[in-house]
Amino acid sequence: MVVLRKLPGMPGWPAALGLRLPQKFLFLLFLSGLLTLCFGALFLLPDSSRFKRLFLPRRATASASSSSSASSSSASSSSTRDTELPRSPPAAAEPRHASPAAPRRLREKLRAAARMAGPPARTAPGSRQQVQGGESRAQPASGAPPARETRAPFRFDYERFRRSLRHPVRGGRSGEDPETRARRMKIKEMMKFAWDNYKQYAMGKNELRPLTKNGHIGNMFGGLRGATVIDALDTLYIMELEEEFQEAKQWVEKSFDLNVNGEASLFEVNIRYIGGLLATYYLTGEEVFKSKALELGEKLLPAFNTPTGIPRGVINLGSGMSWSWGWASAGSSILAEFGTLHLEFLHLSQLSGNPVFAEKVMNIRRVLSRVEKPQGLYPNFLSPVTGSWVQHHVSIGGLGDSFYEYLIKSWLMSDKKDSEAKKMYDDALEAIEKHLVKKSAGGLTYIAEWRGGILDHKMGHLACFSGGMIALGAEHSTGERRQRHMELAAEITSTCHESYTRSDTKLGPEAFRFDAGSEATATRLSERYYILRPEVVESYMYLWRLTHHPKYRHWGWEVVQALEKHCRVEAGFSGIRDVYTTTPSHDNMQQSFFLAETLKYLYLLFCEDDVLSLEDWVFNTEAHPLPINHTDLKAAGQP
Ligand code: DMJ
């Protein structure tokens, strides 16, 4: 007790204990060791420790932890911790935050950290995010790895990737009949016509207005321009429209500006811009497409900063603020939007060596696989705050569609290694077969929509992609299941064909119904339009490749003729307002997906199977081809 009251350092204190000289030395030695230990232990305490803040100056505490995280962080680090602390002190300079009061060893530590860090990290926009519901928190400026990387910079081995392909990308040109070639050439001419007019009247705008001969910008791409250029790139390349491809490439090099400040659809920017740039990089090896894709990918990352990691639908590409669509129930995110990022984001990780993109989409997968599914179905609206469904509307058409597509394609793109995606696809399709697949009185198979258990007997044009998707899944199944799914795919594709043949223009309406006596026809005025959509010819292309039944080429050619007759105008192709009348009423819009998808799928329908072979490529939902991972080009974070 006495010892406790007499503080160390008081004169005569050891003597008061009656110690001899050698014992005094030993005692002092022990005491100084103890003091050193206590001081050293301060550096091991967490940043939040009060003791640490008491005994060390504030800046030195931050620096100390910064230097320790520098040594332990890898390319994968993108934690919030990185946002709280300076990412990298300026190289070769006295660290800004080193206090003169900090002990010498600490200052040395900081200098070492500064040397490792290299130049300061680039600051991307979007350091704060405002989200619906009033949450607001600091965000990482980007998901880029900390600049303190000591390893050589990551470089994707493009040559190795090209060697991994089983077929030349534009095919080997083996024997084909003259009629097939002539039809393909006709489709190539349509692409050239669509491109030339866009170039002449709308170059750099998002779409061409072919009647008024000007450009359209719209508000889907957050101030980004050139949606048609980016969407057209790989189609021009595949069709060997070399000069036109060079025109498009030059625009990307010289005029494609990513420093924009507008509200963009996360989904649309991803499928059109990132998908188009990634595909063109893989096809050509031209670095500009890769670097633009990666830069744009980073700009999308703040949208994922929600309590669940489920991204919101809209993002300001300049500020990084994100929010949900005003029309989406209760601030929800849309299944087809957050569920259609997986393919592109895995490739962003593969090409950058930065796992953050893969981590974001794997987290979405986790949330979805855990949430309870009513009757095994996936409703279209999910809260990014709670991770639960907001409304029980299920559809394989708009709002749901490409989520299912990306499950089966994730499995295929992983060279069949991503078994979780395959299981989710199989289970979802089983529930769809059980609850949504119906046969009309006239014997047409269709997929209805589901509203809290009540069926809406309608199919959207968008839902017609499902024939191709189900066929693609069936191709890789076995036994009874393979046959059943192949039949289902063929029946749905046939129903979609019926929606075309039952119209006066031989083009299909936006939605068609199977009730009140109608069979694959639109019953509402507002559903009679056709905006150059690809989904029906997309299914023809898959069914052709997987069955080689000549009817699919025949049906595809019918579409070519109808497009020429009803949609081709003096300065491009236009959508029409009513497929049930041959009196033309054009909507004055040449959609970018007409060049990305409709013309590409039609062209591929009349190509040999080795052109963009299904053994080497999966198409993203905008028909941009992304390579199957045959070798260990595995993206970090990928299963
Ligand atoms: C395209 O942008 C994509 O196919 C998307 O998945 C939905 N539909 C349009 C074209 O119809």
pLDDT confidence of 277, banded at 50, 70, 90?
very high
- pLDDT single digits (tens) 465-516: 999 999 999 999 999 999 999 999 999 999 999 999 999 999 999 999 999 8
How large is the greatest C-alpha to C-alpha distance in the chain, in angstroms? 116
Token pair in block for residue 36 = 């050193």
pLDDT of residue 153: 84
pLDDT tens track for 563-609? 999 999 999 999 999 999 999 899 999 999 999 999 999 999 999 99
pTM recorded for the entire structure: 0.78
% the chain with pLDDT above 90: 73
Contacts made by residues 387-394, CB under 8 angstroms, sequence distance 24+: 387/307, 387/308, 387/310, 390/329, 390/330, 390/332, 391/329, 391/330, 391/332, 392/450, 392/451, 392/452, 392/453, 393/449, 393/450, 393/451, 393/452, 394/436, 394/449, 394/450, 394/451
178-202 and 242-255 helices, crossing angle to 10°: 30
State which of 597, 600, 619, 624 you would mutate to test the pocket of ligand 1, scoring each by most atoms of that ligand within 8 A of its C-beta: 597
SS (H, E, C) 351-384: HHCCCHHHHHHHHHHHHHHHCCCHHHCCCCEECC
14-18, 71-75, 545-549, 588-592: least confident range: 71-75
Res. 518: pLDDT tops 60: yes
First-to-last alpha carbon distance for the chain, in angstroms, is 62
Query: Which residue has the least CA distance to atom 3 on ligand 1?
Result: 622
CA–CA distance, 633 with 639 (Å, rounded to integer): 13
Residue 259: CB atoms within 10 A of its CB come to 10
Q: For residue 214, count other CB atoms closer than 10 A to its CB.
A: 13
For 27-56, what is the mean pLDDT? 51
The CA 593 to ligand 1 mean position distance, Å, reads 7
Ligand 1 midpoint to CA 345 (Å): 18
Residue scoring higher pLDDT (172 or 74): 172
Nearest Cα neighbor of 586 from 59, 74, 212 is 212
Q: Return the DSSP state at 271.
A: I
Task: Give the nearest ligand 1 atom to 623 CA.
Answer: 4
Mean pLDDT of 72-93: 28
Check if 510 is active-site. Answer: yes
Token output for 266: 């996360």
| Predicted local confidence at residue 152, as pLDDT | 78
For residue 340, give the ligand 1 atom closest to its CA. 6
Q: State which H helix or E strand residue 216 sits in.
A: strand 214-216
Residue of 359, 510, 519, 597 marked catalytic: 510
What span, in angstroms and rounded, lies between the C-alpha atoms of 515 and 493? 19
Write the pLDDT tens digit of every residue in 184-200. 999 999 999 999 999 99
Q: Within its chain, how far is the Cα of 2 from the centroid?
A: 70
pLDDT of residue 15 exceeding 80: no
248 C-alpha to ligand 1 centroid (Å): 22
